[in-house]
Structure 1
Amino acid sequence: MLRAMEYLPVGMSIIDRDLQFRFWNDSFCQCLDFPDSLMQPGVLLEDLFRFNALRGEFGPGDPDAQVRDRIDLARKFVPHRFRRTRANGTVLQVTGRPMSDERGRVVGFVTIYEDVTIEARQQQELEQVHRKLLSAYEDLRRAQLDNSALEKDRSKYYQLAVRDAVTGLYTRHYMEDAAARLLQQHERDAAERVGLLVFDVDRFKQINDNHGHLVGDLVLQRIGSLLNSHTRRIDIAVRNGGDEFAVFLPKLDLQHSLQFAERVRSEVRAMRFEGALSAMEVSISAGVAEHQPGESLGEFLQRADAALYAAKRAGRDRVCSFPAQAEKNL
């Protein structure tokens, strides 16, 4: 198994409870520009942190403090997923999860490093376009022009700013504002339940690699249409970037949110395509959580994301909930 991991197109590393490296592949060293002289048997996570701190990877500051803070965090073995921009401009998607033995005790940590520089640049360009469109919309709004033709233009600008061009779903920018208002309402009235579904397309990169990005966009469009037809007016269905989606479900508890998620998963699995794509199958892995009083939007998304990764580890094409199933699989 470890030999097969040597050939993965993404960087991978495994450390034990003592923060000593037990495995790494060549892609890991290439992603992070670690020299062979550093990556020797017995190398510690602290050694790599210090190497990075001394070459400025963590920005200005005291290298000893930078290393100490990161080691303290690593010892907690908390699952994480974030993007890190290196000093050379490379953007890495870093995903880490603890490893447990048969008794559920944490014995190590596995981390995946994926170069998403191109995707990040494309996302940045889209965000710049969205900001320009929002600015144009605000300029029109402030002008308070009543001409009917200009009213139509204002509506068009607004739709471009808050709707994803591929799927027709809301954008991440709209989500951050609308979801924050939704959670504030929940804080005022705890009886108003709020569910959250997050999911992504299983092996979406293979779809793009095997069939091209136009087919990948077609898959995203079909999923967008499915969500638009199944959500209520009060729901917030979002394309969160790439093949990642989120649906905020006001007035739904965890159980009803799970039922909704399973219906979406089942209908995506049943999607069929024509012609040369007739043999192509699409599935999703999904995570579901219910908002807890006092919980921030980021924490809410993180819990649902943990359930999503539990679904992936359980074999994909399934729905998991947080906390029960997600905690069991962490």
Structure 2
Amino acid sequence: MTRAVRAVDGAPPAKPEDTFSLYDAEEAVLTRSEAMLAGLTDVAGGVKALADAYRRGYREQRRLVRLSDRMQLDLQKANQALAEQRRDLQVLNAALSSEIEHRTRLEAELRSLADTDDLTGALARRRFMEIAAREWLRHERAGAPVCILMLDLDRFKLLNDSFGHAAGDAALVAFVATCRANLRTLDVIGRTGGEEFAVVLPDTTLEAGYAFAERLREAVAATPVPGVEAGVTITVSIGAAQAWRGESLESAMQRADAALYAAKREGRNRVGLEPDGAPSQSAHP
């Protein structure tokens, strides 16, 4: 309620701005309060927005932490799986290495069996032919002399029939041992049949081959057969041929074989030469 102030002693009436209201202060307080409330509302909104942002950030952080934990767990499991696979591979590699070594040994044994006569230690026929062919090629390229010897133990069947196959085996072993004692390191001996053998003498002429064959024949005749009664020996007939330029290895072996059978017909325990071959005093190198 507003009340006008009377003029005193004839003073003029008060101006409107000089009027006084009982609630002016309250209204001013209310106005300021409303402004403060509005400000607080704005602050509260900002705080709420900040809290919401913090809450979202916290939730995202928790999600990332859980994701990281899962990733670490998956990584740990993957590492464990890799470690187990590595151990399995190590075991498998060890097994494979052992298998490879075993197969390598077997292959070496099989190769040895295929290359070597298991009774006498002489080369098997196939391996002998391979090495003889190599020497033959060298002879063809360089024109070096090569002598071929074909050897056959005399009356070997009679030895087997009289003293048994064990005696026959012992005679074969003793024969090859005698040959090896007289051969050079570059000479090659192979077993081509039951009691038949062949020798390749590189860089050896027919005359020198004949001289060597004679020495070998005498050494064999002086070798007793192990395991049988004293005085039992074996003899060998030998055919010799020299390689011709342009001739095949098989052809030279056939000529030496023909000389061998000529020696057999002439009484055994002797050295036969290829047709038109004549011995001389040349020695085996």
Normalising by structure 2, what TM-score? 0.59
What is the Cα deviation at residue 281 of structure 1?
2.5
> What is residue 320 of structure 1 aligned with on the other side?
272
**Aligned counterpart in structure 2 of residue 174 of structure 1, from 127, 131, 142:** 127
Same amino acid, percent of matched pairs: 39
Secondary structure, aligned partner of 2:204: coil
Matched, 1:207 2:171: no
> What is residue 253 of structure 2 aligned with on the other side?
301
What is the Cα deviation at residue 269 of structure 1?
0.3
What is the Cα deviation at residue 156 of structure 1?
2.5
Secondary structure, aligned partner of 1:173: helix
Q: Which amino acid aligns with 2:242?
A: E
> What is residue 84 of structure 2 aligned with on the other side?
none
Is contact 1:169–1:228 with CA below 8 Å preserved after alignment?
A: no
Q: Say which structure is richer in strand.
A: 1
**Aligned counterpart in structure 2 of residue 219 of structure 1, from 155, 167, 171:** 171
Is contact 2:235–2:269 with CA below 8 Å preserved after alignment?
A: yes
What does 1:134-153 align with in structure 2 at a 5 Å threshold? Answer: 151-153=104-106
Is contact 1:170–1:237 with CA below 8 Å preserved after alignment?
A: yes
Distance 1:295 1:205 in 2: 34
Larger radius of gyration: 2
> What is residue 137 of structure 2 aligned with on the other side?
184
Distance 1:207 1:219 in 2: 9
Is contact 2:150–2:198 with CA below 8 Å preserved after alignment?
A: yes
Secondary structure, aligned partner of 1:277: coil
Matched, 1:243 2:186: no
> What is residue 310 of structure 1 aligned with on the other side?
262
Q: Which structure's relative contact order is higher, taking Cα pairs within 8 Å and 6+ residues apart?
A: 2
Secondary structure, aligned partner of 2:119: coil
**Aligned counterpart in structure 2 of residue 164 of structure 1, from 117, 127, 150:** 117
Q: Deviations over 1:242-285 (max 9, x none)?
A: 10010001111111111111111001100124664213231111
Distance 1:163 1:288 in 2: 23
What is the Cα deviation at residue 147 of structure 1?
6.5
Secondary structure, aligned partner of 2:192: strand
Aligned length: 183
What is the Cα deviation at residue 226 of structure 1?
1.4
Distance 2:116 2:227 in 1: 30
Is contact 2:167–2:226 with CA below 8 Å preserved after alignment?
A: no
Distance 1:229 1:262 in 2: 14
> What is residue 285 of structure 1 aligned with on the other side?
237
Root-mean-square deviation over aligned CA pairs = 2.4
Q: Which amino acid aligns with 1:219?
A: A
